[in-house]
A and B are shown apart, each in its own frame.
Chain A
Amino acid sequence: MSQSKPAGMFDARILGPAFRGAFKKLDPRVLAKNPVMFVVAVVSVLCTVLFLKDLVTGAEGLGFSFQIILWLWFTLLFANFAEAVAEGRGKAQAASLRQTRTDASAKLLAGTDATQWRDVPGESLKVGDIVLVEAGDIIPSDGEVVEGVASVNEAAITGESAPVIRESGGDRSAVTGGTQVLSDWIKVRISAAAGSTFIDRMIALVEGAERQKTPNEIALNVLLAGLTLIFVMATATIPAFASYAGGHVPVIVLVALFVTLIPTTIGALVSAIGIAGMDRLVRFNVLAMSGRAVEAAGDVDTLLLDKTGTITLGNRQATEFRPVRGVTEQELADAAQLASLADETPEGRSIVVLAKEKYGIRARDMQSLGATFVPFTAQSRMSGVDFDGTAIRKGAVDAVLKHVDLAGAAGVSPKVSTEKKREIQFIADGIAKAGGTPLAVVRNGQLLGVVYLKDIVKGGIRERFAELRQMGIRTVMITGDNPMTAAAIAAEAGVDDFLAEATPENKLDLIRQEQAKGKLVAMCGDGTNDAPALAQADVGVAMNTGTVAAREAGNMVDLDSDPTKLIEIVGIGKQLLMTRGSLTTFSIANDVAKYFAIVPAMFVTLYPGLEALNIMGLTSPQSAILSAIIFNALIIVALIPLALKGVTYRAIGANALLRRNLFIYGLGGLVVPFIGIKLIDVIISAVGLV
């Protein structure tokens, strides 16, 4: 989706509908959702009615009133426009997603074992139905592969055109409705009814149709409504004060003061900020199931990161051969290479390459050797080759030791001395302590030595963790390695803590412990056994390649299945709140200048001495009031790009961040309107609007 040319912020495709949207959103039912703008709408209508009445009776000063009222309506339209622009991008994405939701027909099977299918319309499928999907078919709805393996094109949701493999069992069994099977066939058990599939949810999310206010947004709206009430009181009492002084203040002037004082800037932009925050995630190919999850992401204190793929490159690489006494490195390398010739795992290949590069041992051909490959099994935890009566095995040290013991006991090969075993164990421990994985090699029951497989820590990851620490976020590495290996890698990568020999259970325990300490935890996972932990975590990012269970348990789905993204997700969550906070500060700080523009203008006829408060030197009371209301409306438009783009987030620590934002948006909010109002005053006076 993001790859397919995202619509720019001010693309004509978005601006056009947004202009229309700005007017459509004048509907009172829509306005009522935003307390500040609703109040603006009410006073605008009121003033318009009063104006029309005055027009009929022919009162004086109508030109001035007309201009104020015009700008009141502009204020409203600008706010609606901001929201419409924010929604526009999501709408464009939703439209392209909708195209994928063609009404495919489905091949419904009577049961898992059935071979006969009948054609039914896709939307008639129920949860639990089994369908057959063959090459070229569109998968009719979300489901889980129960039989078969197929390559699937998921470009519709990920934008990635390379096909992915989906197969029954394991962690790659989930399929998404709307994606297409390219080769082979699969039987799929439907897990989502029509209308509630993953793509349906995506459409709803990006479109903002079901957008619910998040807890922080609700609280902000309460603050804004409260401030509005305070200013209702501050302005509604003015007529009585003025009557004491023997004068009166025109309603239109009171309204102008009121509308400029209430936090219209943030009020106008608050929903745009929320929509844009979700949108940023979507463009990042992450789907948040709720806005609440996005906010929670900003609050994360502890990140659980899987070692493999996130902290280290996925593959371990052979870096060294460490033979036992009496065996040369050459000999060990030779045996190790033979054992790995048919091993297609990255580790196996790296052994072949290392032997060739370091010792000049060329890779031999299995066929010409007449060798048979002994594959890795969960029971033996070893792999190797047999040829010419020679058996070479390589595997985890304890597995290999067990193997030689058994072989020795059975008399297949000579017994191995305890001393040799101890030596192997010693070498292996050394490697594990350094963060490597030892792989023992044995030939015909004779221990040759150990291959040092090293985890390669990703470049730049250390700096990322340092950044996270600055942000006050603790990183915990999750790995199946033993504690020694884990400690070494943790030290090298610079994580704060690690969980070694991780199981789904102790992962869940770790999350609970962290939460009991008052921390918010984020993690990502893909397997079914990750589901409990994903559900327990405050922010659980499921990989799109994962199982249905994992995707249901998490509150975000990463379409690219890239666990590193967790770090960016935290940044996006923080940016959302920061944008709200900064613009609120800006909006409230603006009030100082507005007071100084309008209050003297309002009272100067009562007490001429108050001209001294006109510190901006505005031309006339009317130009002062008009300038303030024009500034108030235009600042909304000026800030739309910032609201959509978000305030820049920097990992510099909370205190430095507050200082920076308080300086920019607090002090800026104090100074900018003084300049802006003065400037507008000069212009409108020159043009002769007042």
Chain B
Amino acid sequence: MITAILFVLMVVGGTALLSWPLGRYMKWAMDPAAPSAGLAGNKTRAFQLVAGPLARQEQNWKSYVFAMLMFNIVMFTVIYLIQTFQGALPFNPDGMGTVSPDLMFNTAASFTTNTNLQHYSGESTYSYFTQLGGIMWLQFVSAATGIAALTALARGLAGRGLGNFFVDLQRASFLVLLPVALVYATALVLGGLPMTFEGSAIATTLEGVQQTIARGPVAAFVTIKQLGTNGGGFFGPNSTHPLENPTFWTNVIQMTALIIIPMACVWMFARIVGRIKHGFVIFAVMLAFVLIKVSGSVAFETAPTQAFTDLAITQDVGNLEGKELRFGANGGPLWAVLTTATSNGSVGSMHDSLNPMTGLMPMVGMWLNESFGGVGVGMINMFLYIVVAVFVAGMMIGRTPEYLGWRIEAKEVKLSLFALLAHGAMILVGTAIFAATPWGADTLNNIGPHGFSEILYEFTSSAANNGSGFEGLGDNTVPWNIATGLVMLFARFIPIILPLAIVGSLAAKRRASESSGTLSVEGGVFATMLAVTVIVVGALTFFPAATLGPIAEHFMFMN
């Protein structure tokens, strides 16, 4: 028990501390006080020179969104084409061939949207060129898109212009993601991850059998997978694979990489809007949700798996099914919570094998999708809840609700609720369709509530742009590829476009000054209000679905 607590404190607490200086740095990098001065200024000018007039003008919310969408459409097209022609492209030592069009669509959507849902096994489907030139490149720029969008949102709330998407994108890529990735990748190579362009190794096992061991530029790939809340592994089994995550320490490093940028995004946001104390409130609410989920999952995972129920054996070391024992007993549930809290989706144990209620925790994380959330977009999701919380709390103190001096009126409420509604609708409607039809029912590995959880998890993971799988689901089928592909695309862009539209609507208003009579978004009272809003508006919607999945399974088998 003590070790579990210390372990969580080390990973979560340690990363929280590290996120503070990183947030400060990100504010400097993304929103410099003097944009044209110094080295960064020169670099921006050089970039603008190369990129042309598109990167020079100040954009309003519509042109910012337009630029972002155009860029993403190009990314989507490029990755689709790379997959199509990977057989003819270089860096293909293992001779990977053609992939089905629906899988290519799904994969393109998955990586463009920073989801990294994988309906394939990387090492046996894609060439090194596809993995590095296509997928890894997208892992950088899709994460950078999120950071850029958050920066624009924060600038708008600070009462300034939104900036320029392309400038923000290059800042996020070159000044934030690349340097941080370099640090992490070095640590991981030292920790024992392979980094090579040679093909698979052929080894003779002790039994005298020839074994092909897939390898490649793993360290670079894994770093951005974790940092950019991408989650798509180099190998199919992701970070449970011994070459993707060999030791206890690489595991710890990878877990900190999962949450550090989403955490730092909160500080960056708070610094740009100029309200550090407000940042503490948001950070505290997010952290509280993470800790509750971690405690829940670690606690539920202390029970042995249901297979032991009828056996005459005492098993008191917890559920070891699907775990990598080299990481220790608590590595699995902690990773499961962190990876779903941040819309990352890499896995450190098999989520399908978690005890039912433990399996609920990652789902809760993705339903909320803002307890740190994806890079940039997690904070943007929280902004949606803040708008709703401010609206109700503002009325309770007897004023027209205001957030940072901006009046929250019908239009802002409408856009926020629509974005929140869309998230729920994609999960519930998708699950309903697949649960009731052979599209879903025929692809299941399990029957009863557990099978239901698999479908629910898959849609949840897509809608949260998470990408982790409950597995046990035969998801490389045409309906699954197309449905989840669409969900990923909508789930990505609706919660970016609508908040920017809110900022556009606010910009047209007269900003009110704040006083002791206006709603404070800086204290414990507002933190409570925000947490309650998240639970009641966000989580409770999924209560019926949860009841039929993990909760039913828990009461059926675990008692």
Query: Is A242 a contact partner of B548 (Cβ separation < 8 A)?
Result: yes
Contacts of B399 in A (CB 8 A): 298-299, 574, 577, 654
Contacts of A220 in B (CB 8 A): 395
Ranked 8 nearest A-B pairs via Cβ = A472-B517, A581-B395, A574-B398, A609-B555, A226-B417, A240-B432, A581-B396, A472-B515
Contact with A along B499-525 (1 / 0, CB 8 A): 000000000001111011111100101
Contacts of B547 in A (CB 8 A): 599-600, 603, 610, 613
Q: Kindly report which residue of chain A lies nearest to residue B542, judged by CB atoms.
A: A234
Contacts of A658 in B (CB 8 A): 393, 396-397, 519, 525-526, 529
Contacts of A578 in B (CB 8 A): 395-398
Query: Is B449 a contact partner of A245 (Cβ separation < 8 A)?
Result: yes
Query: Is B410 a contact partner of A219 (Cβ separation < 8 A)?
Result: yes
B292 at the interface (CB under 8 A from A): no
Contacts of B4 in A (CB 8 A): none
Query: Is B544 a contact partner of A233 (Cβ separation < 8 A)?
Result: no
A301 at the interface (CB under 8 A from B): yes
A623 at the interface (CB under 8 A from B): no
Least distance between A591 CB and chain B CB atoms (Å): 6
Least distance between B8 CB and chain A CB atoms (Å): 28
Query: Is B396 a contact partner of A241 (Cβ separation < 8 A)?
Result: no
Query: Is B543 a contact partner of A595 (Cβ separation < 8 A)?
Result: yes
Chain A positions 522-536 with a Cβ under 8 Å from a chain B Cβ? none
Asked if A653 meets B435 with Cβ closer than 8 Å, knowing A219-B410, A603-B552, A607-B555, the reply is no
Least distance between A185 CB and chain B CB atoms (Å): 48
Query: Is B409 a contact partner of A219 (Cβ separation < 8 A)?
Result: yes
The segment out of B40-48, B213-221, B419-427 that lies at the interface is B419-427
Least distance between B238 CB and chain A CB atoms (Å): 28
Asked if A244 meets B436 with Cβ closer than 8 Å, knowing A216-B400, A223-B413, A661-B396, the reply is yes
Asked if A230 meets B517 with Cβ closer than 8 Å, knowing A241-B431, A241-B432, the reply is no
Asked if A573 meets B545 with Cβ closer than 8 Å, knowing A229-B421, A237-B431, A581-B392, the reply is no
Asked if A577 meets B537 with Cβ closer than 8 Å, knowing A472-B518, A658-B529, the reply is no
Query: Is A234 a contact partner of B424 (Cβ separation < 8 A)?
Result: yes
A222 at the interface (CB under 8 A from B): yes
Contacts of A591 in B (CB 8 A): 536, 540
CA distance A474 to B511 in the complex (A): 18
Contact of A518 among B405, B432, B449, B526 (CB under 8 A): B405
Least distance between A236 CB and chain B CB atoms (Å): 8
A584 at the interface (CB under 8 A from B): yes
Contact of B559 among A231, A296, A609, A613 (CB under 8 A): A609
Query: Is A230 a contact partner of B420 (Cβ separation < 8 A)?
Result: yes
Least distance between B519 CB and chain A CB atoms (Å): 6
A-B contact pairs, 5 of them (CB 8 A): A230-B424, A241-B545, A585-B396, A599-B544, A665-B396
Q: Is the interface of A mostly helix, strand, loop or mixed?
A: helix
Query: Is B512 a contact partner of A301 (Cβ separation < 8 A)?
Result: yes
Query: Is B556 a contact partner of A234 (Cβ separation < 8 A)?
Result: no
Query: Is A295 a contact partner of B526 (Cβ separation < 8 A)?
Result: no
Count of A-B contacts judged by CB separation below 8 Å = 231
CA distance A654 to B552 in the complex (A): 44
Q: Kindly report which residue of chain A lies nearest to residue B423, judged by CB atoms.
A: A230
CA distance A81 to B556 in the complex (A): 46
Least distance between B385 CB and chain A CB atoms (Å): 13
A582 at the interface (CB under 8 A from B): yes
B408 at the interface (CB under 8 A from A): yes
Q: Kindly report which residue of chain A lies nearest to residue B452, judged by CB atoms.
A: A244
A589 at the interface (CB under 8 A from B): yes
Q: How many residues of A contact B (CB 8 A)?
A: 79
Contacts of A599 in B (CB 8 A): 543-544, 547
Contact of A649 among B398, B518, B544, B555 (CB under 8 A): B398
Contacts of A241 in B (CB 8 A): 431-432, 435, 452, 544-545, 548
Indicate the member of B412, B432, B433, B529 with the most A CB atoms within 10 Å.
B432
Asked if A657 meets B397 with Cβ closer than 8 Å, knowing A470-B516, A518-B512, A599-B543, the reply is yes
Contact with B along A557-599 (1 / 0, CB 8 A): 0000000000000000111111011101100110110010001
Contacts of A657 in B (CB 8 A): 396-398
A662 at the interface (CB under 8 A from B): yes
Query: Is A222 a contact partner of B529 (Cβ separation < 8 A)?
Result: no
Contact with B along A235-265 (1 / 0, CB 8 A): 1111111111100000000000000000000
Query: Is B431 a contact partner of A654 (Cβ separation < 8 A)?
Result: no
B388 at the interface (CB under 8 A from A): yes
Q: Kindly report which residue of chain A lies nearest to residue B430, judged by CB atoms.
A: A237
Contact of A577 among B388, B395, B410, B548 (CB under 8 A): B395
Q: Is the interface of B mostly helix, strand, loop or mixed?
A: helix
12 additional contacts, CB 8 Å, given A219-B408, A233-B428? A226-B418, A226-B420, A245-B548, A298-B400, A301-B512, A578-B395, A581-B392, A581-B393, A589-B536, A595-B543, A610-B547, A654-B399
Q: Kindly report which residue of chain B lies nearest to residue A574, judged by CB atoms.
A: B398
Contacts of B515 in A (CB 8 A): 301, 472-474
A422 at the interface (CB under 8 A from B): no
Q: Kindly report which residue of chain B lies nearest to residue A474, judged by CB atoms.
A: B515
CA distance A612 to B432 in the complex (A): 25
Contact of B548 among A299, A515, A588, A603 (CB under 8 A): A603
A211 at the interface (CB under 8 A from B): no
Chain A positions 280-328 with a Cβ under 8 Å from a chain B Cβ? 295-296, 298-299, 301
Query: Is B388 a contact partner of A223 (Cβ separation < 8 A)?
Result: yes
A606 at the interface (CB under 8 A from B): yes
Contact of B516 among A233, A238, A613, A654 (CB under 8 A): A654
Query: Is A655 a contact partner of B541 (Cβ separation < 8 A)?
Result: no
Chain B positions 426-468 with a Cβ under 8 Å from a chain A Cβ? 428-429, 431-433, 435-436, 441, 448-449, 451-452, 455
Q: Kindly report which residue of chain A lies nearest to residue B543, judged by CB atoms.
A: A595
Indicate the member of B398, B400, B559 with the most A CB atoms within 10 Å.
B398
Asked if A519 meets B556 with Cβ closer than 8 Å, knowing A219-B413, A581-B392, A655-B525, the reply is no
A76 at the interface (CB under 8 A from B): no
A215 at the interface (CB under 8 A from B): yes
Contacts of A585 in B (CB 8 A): 392, 396
Query: Is A473 a contact partner of B544 (Cβ separation < 8 A)?
Result: no
Contact with A along B399-416 (1 / 0, CB 8 A): 111000100111011100
Contacts of B529 in A (CB 8 A): 658, 662, 666
Asked if A218 meets B513 with Cβ closer than 8 Å, knowing A223-B388, A298-B400, A609-B555, the reply is no
B234 at the interface (CB under 8 A from A): no
B9 at the interface (CB under 8 A from A): no
Q: Kindly report which residue of chain A lies nearest to residue B552, judged by CB atoms.
A: A607
Q: Kindly report which residue of chain B lies nearest to residue A261, judged by CB atoms.
A: B540
A9 at the interface (CB under 8 A from B): no
CA distance A239 to B398 in the complex (A): 41
CA distance A515 to B409 in the complex (A): 19
Contact with B along A463-507 (1 / 0, CB 8 A): 000000111111000000000000000000000000000000000
A29 at the interface (CB under 8 A from B): no
CA distance A581 to B448 in the complex (A): 42
Least distance between B113 CB and chain A CB atoms (Å): 22
Contacts of B455 in A (CB 8 A): 244
Query: Is B398 a contact partner of A575 (Cβ separation < 8 A)?
Result: yes
